[in-house]
Amino acid sequence: MELELIISEIKEKLESINTIQELANLKPMYLGKKGKISLAMGNMKELSIEERKTLGQKVNLVKSEAEKLFSVKEEALNKALIQSKLAKEKIDVTMPGVKFNQGTIHPLTQTIMDLEDLYVGLGYEVAEGPELETDEYCFEKLNLPKGHPARDMQDTFYINPEWLLRSQTSPVQVRTMLKKEGKPIQIICPGKTYRRDADDATHSHQFMQCEGLVLGKNITMADLKGALLEMAKKILGEDKEIRLRPSFFPFTEPSVEVDVSCVKCGGKGCSMCKNSGWIEVLGAGMVNNNVLRMCGYDPEEIQGFAFGIGIERITMLKYGIDDIRNFYSNDLRFLKQFKEAK
């Protein structure tokens, strides 16, 4: 084939090429080792030196022209491909954006955050401890020796005779007292607790507490009442009041039950508070001297108070929730209600 005709043929075929792959398949037919341009040099042995020189120059010109044609075509195809992608992937800035579902803080987590915000602001520290506890820290050092009848008040998950899932966060207080070695303490300890309760609208085998402990010189029940009154106003509303009623807990003496003015009627009396105007919310008291001694404190020098807040209890009161199981059902319809809750 005449070399000039090869260029014409390449031009003609390149016009019908639409993809990079088609171009890649065509290129070796002309520029490969066995391509038409190389074959055009097959009879050079039969030519004279001058003819070989002339043919070689012509072949090089044709090869150079062919390479240029393929390069231009490849560049055009790549540009067209980019334009096509840009056209498909372009963003219309006038279109409405995609709406993403935004999560929300769980109401129990929000209550804990509110408590931590309050008490840390009052100078307390947040203490934590293991959920798998020893009988010694969970009961014995809290004035509940083995065989004590008050242990029946708590139906506990025992792993073995010495280890259990903590039924309260009080062991964190014990660990802190032992660590502080007689020094003043001002802590809260929020966390999960476990008891063998049958699950219903007001009970759960897993629940959350936030206990508080303050130890120092000249600590009185007045300090305890002030700390709890601040909590009631922070969590349940500035108009809330509290009252203390005598009670019994082995680890505090004297002990009190703490009531808050009804969140529904404001203390006037309604079905929710059984027309008393008050709702029981937590237990508290002055730390028992036996507990102080067992944890390395001298009751003659150091006094203090402790309290235990049921997180689910006050959260239910705050938001008007009537079933504790809603907290653990993972029902988005329930959780979405608290997106704007503060």
CATH number, residue 221: 3.30.930.10
84 vs 153: which has the higher pLDDT: 84
- Do 8 and 149 lie in one domain? The reply is no
Whether residue 114 has pLDDT greater than 50: yes
Determine, yes or no, domain membership for 97.
Answer: no
342 — pLDDT class (breaks 50, 70, 90): very low
Strand-pair partners of 242: 260
Determine, yes or no, domain membership for 264.
Answer: yes
- Do 311 and 224 lie in one domain? The reply is yes
**CB contact at 8 A, 192 and 157:** no
Determine, yes or no, domain membership for 259.
Answer: yes
- Do 126 and 192 lie in one domain? The reply is yes
Average pLDDT of the segment spanning 38-58: 71
Average pLDDT of the segment spanning 8-30: 84
* Domain's final residue, options 37, 56, 89: 89
- Do 43 and 176 lie in one domain? The reply is no
**CB contact at 8 A, 215 and 295:** no
Strand-pair partners of 212: 188, 307
Determine, yes or no, domain membership for 18.
Answer: yes
CA 78/CA 73 separation, integer angstroms: 9
Q: What is the pLDDT of residue 150?
A: 66
Determine, yes or no, domain membership for 101.
Answer: no
Closest CA to 244 of 253, 235, 255, 233: 255
Q: What is the pLDDT of residue 45?
A: 66
Q: What is the pLDDT of residue 104?
A: 83
- Do 245 and 328 lie in one domain? The reply is yes
Give me the chain's average pLDDT, please: 87
Query: Residues 226-236: pLDDT tens digits?
Result: 999 999 999 99
- Do 47 and 193 lie in one domain? The reply is no
Query: Residues 198-239: pLDDT tens digits?
Result: 888 888 899 999 999 999 999 999 999 999 999 999 999 999
Closest CA to 135 of 153, 117, 159: 159
Q: What is the pLDDT of residue 11?
A: 83
* Domain's final residue, options 30, 56, 89: 89
CA 43/CA 265 separation, integer angstroms: 111
**CB contact at 8 A, 62 and 10:** no
Determine, yes or no, domain membership for 96.
Answer: no
- Do 73 and 144 lie in one domain? The reply is no
DSSP string, 117-159: HHHHHTT-EE----SEEEHHHHTGGGT--TT-GGGGGS--EES
Domain extent, residue 54, equals: 3-89
Q: What is the pLDDT of residue 21?
A: 87
Query: Residues 63-113: pLDDT tens digits?
Result: 888 888 888 888 888 888 888 888 888 777 788 888 887 778 899 999 999
* Domain's final residue, options 35, 58, 89: 89
- Do 192 and 298 lie in one domain? The reply is yes
Whether residue 35 has pLDDT greater than 80: no
Q: Which residues contact 24 (CB under 8 A, 6 or more apart)?
A: none
Determine, yes or no, domain membership for 52.
Answer: yes
CA 251/CA 46 separation, integer angstroms: 116
- Do 177 and 266 lie in one domain? The reply is yes
Average pLDDT of the segment spanning 317-323: 90
339 — pLDDT class (breaks 50, 70, 90): low
If 0-12 CB within 10 Å is exposed, 13-18 middle and 19+ buried, where does residue 190 land? buried
Closest CA to 59 of 27, 26, 30: 30
In percent, the amount of the chain with pLDDT more than 70 equals 94
- Do 140 and 248 lie in one domain? The reply is yes
- Do 260 and 138 lie in one domain? The reply is yes
- Tokens representing 338 are 């608290």
Determine, yes or no, domain membership for 230.
Answer: yes
131 — pLDDT class (breaks 50, 70, 90): very high
Q: What is the pLDDT of residue 41?
A: 67
Whether residue 6 has pLDDT greater than 60: yes
Q: Domain total for the chain? A: 2
- Do 111 and 45 lie in one domain? The reply is no
**CB contact at 8 A, 188 and 170:** no
**CB contact at 8 A, 25 and 13:** no
**CB contact at 8 A, 7 and 30:** no
CA 125/CA 172 separation, integer angstroms: 12
Q: What is the pLDDT of residue 127?
A: 96
**CB contact at 8 A, 268 and 241:** no
Closest CA to 281 of 265, 299, 262: 262
